[in-house]
Chain A
Amino acid sequence: MARVEFKNIVKVYEDEKRGSFTAVKGSSFVIEDREFVVFVGPSGCGKTTSLRMIAGLERQTSGDIRIGERVVNDLHPKDRDIAMVFQDYALYPHMTIAENLSFGLRNLKRPKDEIERKVKEASSILGLGDMLSRKPRELSGGQRQRVAVGRAIVRDPQVFLFDEPLSNLDAKLRIQMRVELAELHKRLGATIVYVTHDQVEAMTLGERIVVMNEGEIQQIASPTELYNKPNNMFVAGFIGSPAMNFIDARIGGGQALLAGGTAFPLPEAAARALGAYEGKPIVLGVRPEHIYGEAMAPDRAGSAKLEAHVQVVEQLGAESLVYFRVGERMVTARVHPELPVALGARQTFVLDAAKLHWFDPQTEQRIVF
């Protein structure tokens, strides 16, 4: 197995009509051997382009890519020792499943018995045994997905590349395949690079997550770190569902003055760190799950309280989502389902003081303390 390294990778597309477009703006990172790394971001953020450059399907405009110890910049995909699973599975429609699985090995002119053994192995891992003589169109979506993974396993590559492999499955199957992929990673002990636009998929699968936006890497971190310490407002808003609330605020005399008139005293550490913002605008970030109804707030929550008119309540059974306005912004609170809330009523909410995030409104970076 192997590590994958990007060094100052830039990818520029030249288009005669629209001019040039920079899909990846100088990204550098290292994916460790046997690591499961997920690239996540909105569409057009450069994540798929990055994956294709690892595969060798696209060539970077500048920079170096290493797989293992080798610089692979000018290597053909077949020489990079990688395998890829595509979003639409890309199974050859005119070949049987067995032929699909063995196509790569046959092209590499491997001995027959080795091909047979590997196809058998992969099909037993994925439970494809009785489908080998069928054509892809006779298979269900989930089965095709397995064949696509099987085709990668058969190659026994140093690095597995997954391009949104679950996005064509229905919700139930997606969760099941997610579990299977995680197990597969443990079993194969392979380096996996996985691209998705779904942050839940990223959080559940990735050992580390690369968050990208507009061609730039926003943060590389473990799921918990991304959740607890997002680098900036983009990551903070992208990771977690419902998304983090952002509230316009000002710092004054050790107090946070929120848009709409509420104020609460800052904890000591925060007051010290935010001293530089005295009198200046600042953005307060708080996740919906860190807002409580006053009646049910845990003791540690502290004294960050605010009052607001409840505008919408969504009962989800295990929890309720309560929407109210603070200043110009709509704020979501994820509260206990038994919290008594009345539409239109003025209600007091408590923000968990230990879980507040502060952002500079100009740079959108998190203020670290």
Chain B
Amino acid sequence: MTSKSKIALIAVALAVLIVWAFVTVIPLYWMFIGSFQDSAASAVFKPQMIPEIWSIAPYERFFHKAAAVRWIVNSVIVASVVTVTNVFFASLAGYAFAKLKFPGSKTIFWALLTTMMIPAQVTLIPLYILMINIFQLGDTYTAIVLPAVVSVGNVFLMKQYMSTLPTSLIHAARIDACSEFGIYRKVILPMAKPGLAVLAIFTFVAQWNEFFWPLLVTKSSEMRTIQVGLASFVFAESTDYGAIMAGASVGALPMVILFFSLQRYFLQGITVGAVKG
């Protein structure tokens, strides 16, 4: 390609990307900027692009009308527990599937993997009956967390990641009289830290944003996660755009901050074990 057409291509690329980036970000910008404008008087959401007067009244109304602090605490608890269990159990199982030889390993792994195609809707109803009617776990953290303790997708991701670690280290540790769990804890885990970090971040974000299952198993306002709480707030206060945007900002901001501080992991992370699996 000649340098002239190369420059033209880059100019076009920049123009298109800037426009598209603008379109992509503007809804979130509106949300954020709108949450600082007191639009209670008007039933229409009409934020000024650059507000003249900043107001925290929408936030006051949101926290006043909703059990928002409790929702955030719930989300933090649930997402943290799910993250810890996923990192631990998925890395342990992923290691076993990647590096240990045992009868049935391939069969079990493929059995797990193929069921990823089954949509959640199929298992949802029996799960709901099981949790709510049989175990009587409605409105508890346990009900929210239990089905999410470790996902098959994460086991798959960890298997892909673990298989890139050198096997000779495992052999060396075995000769060095390390127990099998010791090999996992003292040799594999320290080496797998970057992969575990990616897994932790993605699990946390996914669980923070999870909506459907917490919606089903929580009844009282106190047990809702921030996402479920927000949805209920939207239905209850559908005219107070300011407070709704404040709530949406509260729900999204922790993840946006997490994204910008750990950008590197986000932008490389999802390629782990994706296509080349």
Contact = CB atoms under 8 A, between A and B. Distances in A.
Real binding pair: yes
Given A16-B106, A94-B191, A87 B168 contact: yes
Interface of A: 16, 52, 55, 57, 76-78, 82-84, 86-88, 90, 92-94, 103-104, 107-108, 151, 155
Contacts of A55: 171, 175
Contact of B177 (A52, A87, A92, A104): A104
B168 A88 contact: yes
A84 B169 CA distance: 11
B15 interface: no
A104 B173 CA distance: 8
Interface string B167-192: 01101111111110010000100110
B175 A78 contact: yes
Interface residues of B, number: 17
Interface of B: 106, 166, 168-169, 171-179, 182, 187, 190-191
Contact of A86 (B168, B177, B179, B182): B168
A104 B166 contact: no
A104 B176 contact: yes
A82 B171 CA distance: 13
A57 B174 contact: yes
Nearest to B182: A107
A104 to B, nearest CB: 4
A67 B187 CA distance: 28
Task: Choose among A16, A52, A55, A107 the residue with the greatest number of B CB atoms under 10 Å from its CB.
Answer: A107
Most buried by B among A16, A76, A90: A90
Given A84-B171, A92-B169, A93-B191, 13 more contacts: A52-B171, A55-B175, A76-B174, A77-B171, A78-B175, A78-B176, A78-B178, A84-B172, A84-B175, A90-B169, A90-B172, A92-B187, A107-B176
A107 B178 contact: yes
Contacts of A77: 171, 174-175
Q: Which 8 A-B pairs have the closest CB atoms?
A: A104-B176, A78-B177, A90-B168, A90-B172, A94-B190, A107-B177, A86-B168, A77-B175
Query: Taking chain B's interface residues, is the majority helix, strand, or loop, or is none over half, making it mixed?
Result: helix
Contacts of A57: 171, 174-175
A105 to B, nearest CB: 8
A358 B98 CA distance: 51
A92 B168 CA distance: 10
A103 B173 contact: yes
Contacts of B174: 57, 76-78
Q: Which of B106, B174, B177 has the most CB of A within 10 A?
A: B177
Contact of B166 (A82, A88, A151): A88
Contacts of B179: 107
Contacts of B168: 86-88, 90
Task: Please indicate which of the listed interface residues B106, B176, B190, B191 has the most CB atoms of chain A within 10 Å of its own CB.
Answer: B176
25 contacts: A52-B171, A57-B171, A57-B174, A77-B171, A78-B174, A78-B178, A82-B175, A84-B172, A86-B168, A88-B166, A90-B168, A90-B169, A90-B172, A92-B169, A92-B173, A92-B190, A93-B190, A94-B191, A103-B176, A107-B176, A107-B177, A107-B179, A107-B182, A151-B172, A155-B176
Nearest to A88: B168
